[in-house]
A and B are shown apart, each in its own frame.
Chain A
Amino acid sequence: MGRYVVRRLLQAIPVLLGTTFLIFTLVYWLPGDPIQALAGDRAVDPVFRATMREMFHLDEPLVVQYGYYIQGILSGDFGTTFRGLPVSTIFEGKFQITLNLAMMALVIEAIVGIGLGLIAALRRGKAADTAILAFTLLLVSIPTLVSGFVLQLVLGLQLKTSTGIDFFPVAGTSEGWRSYLLPGIVLAGTSIAYLTRLTRTSLMETLRADYVRTAVAKGMPRRRVLGRHALRNSLIPLVTYLGADLGTLMSGAVITETIFNLNGIGRQLVDSVYLSENSVVVGIVTVLVLIFIAANLIVDLLYAVLDPRIRYE
């Protein structure tokens, strides 16, 4: 186990260096003048420009600039905003909102996705299975962009006007955990579909496995065969999928936060893009990518805990 963890941690280092370098190279190569962007639409004083280029090491070669960038990341410096504040101050409060949203989506995804997947697998080929598969097809096909607005309209407003039920706040975070309910459902949408299908195939595969047949041959009651022997094995890919999905959900929260006016880092990203505040954009993307990589790393370690074949490698 120890060796596996160390090896996996070491493997993560080149990926971290590689992705940050990739992001940095994109910034370096792509058109767009960072100083001009800093000044907005006003003309830039040449002296100021020279000072800034010096200050941000813009005249150094790519690799040297990358060195400064990495040095910054390691010391928690993700760049500077418009007003000269460190990008990291922007995360205060906003990070929590995005994390809340992603967690809400994850909980919804786990309950609905695993639940539907189990039903589908146990009723394989029956009407319930077909209906659930069709439902996942629909879920995958409706982009967040669409489901966000439609649910806002139907659940948030029409439900209130027609029945008086005001359960789903449609914007902001003033209502505590309920504020995250509707955006959570929207954000979870596609993931629910994937998790449902993964659960279905995973359980169907384990149900066909020889060791499940052995459990039946041992005279174990059906409940125990399913609940202990089959489920324990089919859960492994599901738990790892969910873990990795936390990173995906956080980085995918951009649209959902925009639609539901949640003041998280996704929305901040969009605002910064709109204001051409590229240093903030790069800073936020870097953080999200790091979270994404970290989530995948944690999942791999989790895998080892769940599957003894890897634990004792």
Chain B
Amino acid sequence: MSDTLTEQKPKSVKPPKQKKPASLWSDAWYDLRRSKVFIIAAVMIAVLVVMSIIPGLFSSVNAFDPTTCDLTKARQGVSAAHIFGTDNQGCDTYSRVIYGARISIMVGVFSTLVTTLIGGLLGLLAGFYGRWTDTILSRVAEIFFAIPSTLGALLILALVGRENAGIWTVVVALSVLAWPMVLRIMRAAVMSAKSQDYVLAARALGAGPGRLMGRHILPNALAPVIVVATMNMGVFIAAEAALSFLGVGIQSPDISWGLMIADARNRFLQAPEALLFPALFLSLTVLAFVMLGDAVRDALDPKLR
């Protein structure tokens, strides 16, 4: 054994104040609370979530009410009455941007939930049982993986047709091709957790597969999956905007930032506000989730820093 310090640092050196045995999770939480990136991201996300649940808190104008739009005031710039200006239909851009948060957050959350549950469960099975279970699941995942997910989602939504498109079809279309990534990560994490001594010991003591997976393997394989899930949230939100922009995702009268960008596109040079504000919110939302993912990764896996 080489005795360079860098190697033995993690083992012998613990934060001196901590009394109880520091687990991965309590260590991670300790790190997170001290991370500026995490706090900024968490605050941004909290605001977005509130915005998507109770948009009325942020905007006195109900963006779903068509009577609030005034065609004679279309494509106005920033003013006191319309702080983000107005769009092609003369609707208030600010209230539409606020009301648009809901779709983004919902698509992000639900696509992440679906892919993490499916990919995570299958990854757990593939990693735990190995052999033919693993071979079959991995091969199938490889096939789904070979189709770039936005392209695949575009195909699915194009086939489903605009008349059937909506938030749930978008969630399904995004999830169908994105779960294999979670499977791969979960599988790798389970396989490495499986060969740890304490799991071998538990197995030797007669723990059944359910108990092994639930009590011993899953808690130790969860970290990388959580990191990827957090990061995927931002990816899904951006993908939803892209699909809606292309006309196959969310359809009017629902409000989506991608749809708003598409609507404002043709008059972009005359009235850039109607495009730039939803674009800004979209970027900030993605940024919040990317930052959160970064902070969580740093906390859960300091090696990757």
Scan A113-157; emit 1 where CB is below 8 A from any B CB, else 0: 000000000000000000000000110111111100110110001
Q: A18-B142, A153-B272 are in contact. Are A276 and B151 (CB under 8 A)?
A: no
Q: Does A270 contact B (CB under 8 A)?
A: yes
Task: State which of B58-66, B219-227, B286-294 sits at the interface with chain A.
Answer: B286-294
B155 touches A137 (CB 8 A): no
B283 touches A22 (CB 8 A): no
A255 touches B146 (CB 8 A): no
Residues of A within 8 A of B159 (CB): 26-27, 30-32, 278, 281
Complex Cα gap A141–B292 (Å): 12
B287 touches A31 (CB 8 A): no
Q: A149-B275, A293-B146 are in contact. Are A137 and B290 (CB under 8 A)?
A: yes
Complex Cα gap A144–B286 (Å): 12
- Residue on A nearest B262 in the bound complex, by CB: A145
Q: Does B51 contact A (CB under 8 A)?
A: no
Task: State which of A87-95, A180-188, A231-239, A284-292 sits at the interface with chain B.
Answer: A284-292
Contacting A at CB under 8 A, from B248-305, are 248, 258, 261, 265, 268-269, 272, 275-276, 279-280, 282-284, 286-287, 290-291, 294, 304
Complex Cα gap A74–B140 (Å): 23
Which of B143, B241, B268 has a CB less than 8 Å from the CB of A153? Answer: B268
Interchain nearest-CB distance for A9 vs B (Å): 15
Residues of B within 8 A of A137 (CB): 287, 290-291, 294
Q: A150-B276, A153-B269, A201-B304 are in contact. Are A142 and B290 (CB under 8 A)?
A: no
Complex Cα gap A157–B159 (Å): 37
Interchain nearest-CB distance for A38 vs B (Å): 14
Which of A18, A143, A152, A274 has a CB less than 8 Å from the CB of B238? Answer: A143
Interchain nearest-CB distance for A285 vs B (Å): 5
Contacting A at CB under 8 A, from B136-175, are 139-140, 142-144, 146-148, 150-152, 154-156, 158-161, 164
Which of B140, B151, B284, B286 has a CB less than 8 Å from the CB of A285? Answer: B151
- Residues of chain B at interface, number, CB under 8 A: 46
Scan B228-245; emit 1 where CB is below 8 A from any A CB, else 0: 000000100010011001
B279 touches A30 (CB 8 A): no
Q: A145-B241, A289-B151 are in contact. Are A157 and B269 (CB under 8 A)?
A: yes
Q: Does A299 contact B (CB under 8 A)?
A: no
Residues of A within 8 A of B158 (CB): 272-273, 276, 278, 281
Interchain nearest-CB distance for A147 vs B (Å): 9
- Residue on A nearest B159 in the bound complex, by CB: A30
Complex Cα gap A67–B94 (Å): 53
Q: A31-B164, A143-B241 are in contact. Are A254 and B154 (CB under 8 A)?
A: yes
Q: Does A220 contact B (CB under 8 A)?
A: no
Complex Cα gap A102–B158 (Å): 24
Q: What are 10 A-B pairs at a CB distance below 8 A? A: A14-B139, A15-B146, A19-B147, A26-B155, A26-B159, A31-B160, A142-B287, A149-B265, A150-B279, A289-B148
9 shortest interchain CB distances as A-B pairs: A18-B143, A141-B287, A146-B279, A30-B159, A143-B238, A251-B148, A273-B158, A141-B286, A251-B151
